[in-house]
């Protein structure tokens, strides 16, 4: 181990680590890139869970909800508060958070939709943006008042605190968990949208809201339900991030911009597009670190710009009629 006398360098205790390293010189191998791919995919999945909500809400309500990031942040804070009551550590407690917190955010969404959003659907986009941006400021201050400025976090359950070996390299179990949860959510959303009557109604509301209304469906209820689903996803993302990183007042704004890029790349309103967009960004940032360093940060926006030039309606989106 490390000694202050320095007789043994830190590197002496070599355990599970990135293998393709010889004599201190990093040798990049195919394994390393596969590892980066898996790491990036798990990053993308987390992004997808949040961004899919944003996309869904836009698809049905035609409102770009900037406050989506704030709802995600509130989800994270609620998770932190609940976790202190549960005095966490066990996987069961963590699952409980995953089950309880997203519905709480969905209920908050219900209140917001029925009192505020409903009033602006017929208004121009500028007014809608003003409303959602005002909500960002208000919700941020509400969080500041309730939770204060101290960073918080949820204790990772022990079972997810370790790591698994991917081609001889250590990948955190938590990333693996998110990597598995992402496709489950994606499949669930796909099933809901394409295999259930509710989904049919939601999809119909995207393209033919008037016809749907004429058929006797309560369109405004569909909108409320969709908004709540979007908030549910934001809340889920919040719980997942609270166990990963410190939660503070900045995390909402930090994520909403990336989510926006994801939604533009994938196509506004398309959940499949959000999945693809998230994975492109997650893998991209992870992959291009090494060759491009800090310029890897530009990647999401570069892709977004390219998509906007070549296919302005997004990869999976449909051109506006």
Partner 1 sequence: MRGRMLRTALAVLVFALAAGLVVSGDCLAQDKIRLGFVADVGGIAATFYKSQRQAIDLFIEEANAAGGVMGKKLEVVVRDSQLKPDIGSNMARELILSEKCDFLIGPTSSAVALAITKVAQEFKKIVYFHTSNTELLTTTDFQPYMFQVVPNTGIEGRGIVEFVSKKPYKRFGYIGYDYAYGHTQWDEQKAKLKQLKPDAQIAEPVWVKLGESNFSAWIPTVIASNPEVILSSLWGGGLASFIKQAQPYGMFKTASVTSLFDLDMLRAIGKDMPENQLGYARAAFYAIDTPQMKAFNQKYYDKYKEWPADWAIMAYDGLIALTDAIKQANSLDSDKVVKALEGLKFKSLRGDRFIRAEDHMMNCGIYVGYTVKDPKYEGFLIMKDVVEVPAEKVWRSVDELKKIRAEKK
Q: What DSSP state is assigned to residue 124?
A: -
Give the helix/strand (H/E) hosting 185.
Answer: helix 173-195
Which residues 110-169 are close enough to bind partner 1 by CB under 8 A?
A: 144, 148-151, 153, 156, 161-163, 169
Distance CA 289, CA 281 (A): 12
Contacts with 188 (C-beta within 8 Å, 6 or more apart), sequence order:
none
- The residue range among 30-38, 189-197, 204-212, 262-270 that interacts with partner 1, by the rule CB under 8 A, is 30-38
Q: Contact with partner 1 (CB under 8 A): which of 207, 250, 312, 318?
A: 250
Tell me if 18 contacts partner 1 by CB under 8 A. yes
244 is an interface residue for partner 1 by CB under 8 A: yes
Task: Rule CB under 8 A: say whether 14 interacts with partner 1.
Answer: yes
| Segment near partner 1 (CB under 8 A); pick from 6-14, 195-203, 228-236, 309-317 | 6-14
Query: Out of 21, 107, 181, 217, which residue is the one contacting partner 1 (CB under 8 A)?
Result: 21
Q: Residues touching partner 1: how many (CB under 8 A)?
A: 62
Q: Which residue has tokens 């710009």?
A: 305
The one segment of 36-44, 103-111, 133-141, 203-211 that binds partner 1 by CB under 8 A: 36-44
CB 232 within 8 A of CB 242: no
Of the candidates 215, 313, 219, the one whose C-alpha atom is nearest the C-alpha of residue 273 is 313
Does 16 interact with partner 1 (rule: CB under 8 A)?
A: yes
Q: Is 30 in the site for partner 1 (CB under 8 A)?
A: no
Helix, strand, coil in percent for the chain, rounding step 5: 70, 5, 25
For 175, the token pair is 């990333």
| Residue 287 CB, nearest approach to partner 1 (Å) | 9
Beta strand ranges found along the chain (DSSP E)? 21-22, 25-26, 163-166, 169-172
Residues 6+ away with beta carbon under 8 Å from 37:
283, 286, 287
Give yes or no for residue 1 binding partner 1 (CB under 8 A): yes
- Residues in contact with partner 1 by CB under 8 A are 1-2, 4, 6-7, 9-11, 13-18, 21, 24, 26, 28, 32, 35-36, 39-40, 42-43, 46, 144, 148-151, 153, 156, 161-163, 169-175, 241, 244-251, 254, 282, 285-286, 289-290, 293-294, 296-297
């Amino acid at each position: 181990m490390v000694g202050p006398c320095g007789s043994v360098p830190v590197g002496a205790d070599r355990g599970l680590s990135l293998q393709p390293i010889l004599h201190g010189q990093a040798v990049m191998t195919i394994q390393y890139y596969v590892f980066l791919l898996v790491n990036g995919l798990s990053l993308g999945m987390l992004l997808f869970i949040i961004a899919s909500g944003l996309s869904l809400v836009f698809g049905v309500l035609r409102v770009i909800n900037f406050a989506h990031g704030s709802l995600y942040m509130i989800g994270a804070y609620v998770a932190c508060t609940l976790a202190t009551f549960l005095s966490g550590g066990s996987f069961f407690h963590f699952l409980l958070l995953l089950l309880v917190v997203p519905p709480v955010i969905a209920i908050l969404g219900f209140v917001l939709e029925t009192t505020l959003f409903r009033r602006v659907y017929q208004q121009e986009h500028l007014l809608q943006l003003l409303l959602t941006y005002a909500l960002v400021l208000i919700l941020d201050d509400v969080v500041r008042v309730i939770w204060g400025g101290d960073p918080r976090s949820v204790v990772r359950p022990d079972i997810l605190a370790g790591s698994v070996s991917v081609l001889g390299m250590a990948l955190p179990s938590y990333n693996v968990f998110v990597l598995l949860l992402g496709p489950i959510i994606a499949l669930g959303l796909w099933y809901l949208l394409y295999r259930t009557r509710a989904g049919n109604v939601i999809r119909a509301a995207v393209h033919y809201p008037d016809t749907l209304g004429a058929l006797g469906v309560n369109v405004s209820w569909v909108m409320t339900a969709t908004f709540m689903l979007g908030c549910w996803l934001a809340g889920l993302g919040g719980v997942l991030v609270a166990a990963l990183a410190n939660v503070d007042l900045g995390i909402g704004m930090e994520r909403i911009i990336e989510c926006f890029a994801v939604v533009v790349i994938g196509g506004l309103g398309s959940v499949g597009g959000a999945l693809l967009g998230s994975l492109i960004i997650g893998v991209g940032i992870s992959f291009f670190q090494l060759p491009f360093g800090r310029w890897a940060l530009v990647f999401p926006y570069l892709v977004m710009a390219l998509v906007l030039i070549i296919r302005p309606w997004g990869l999976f989106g449909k051109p506006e009629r």
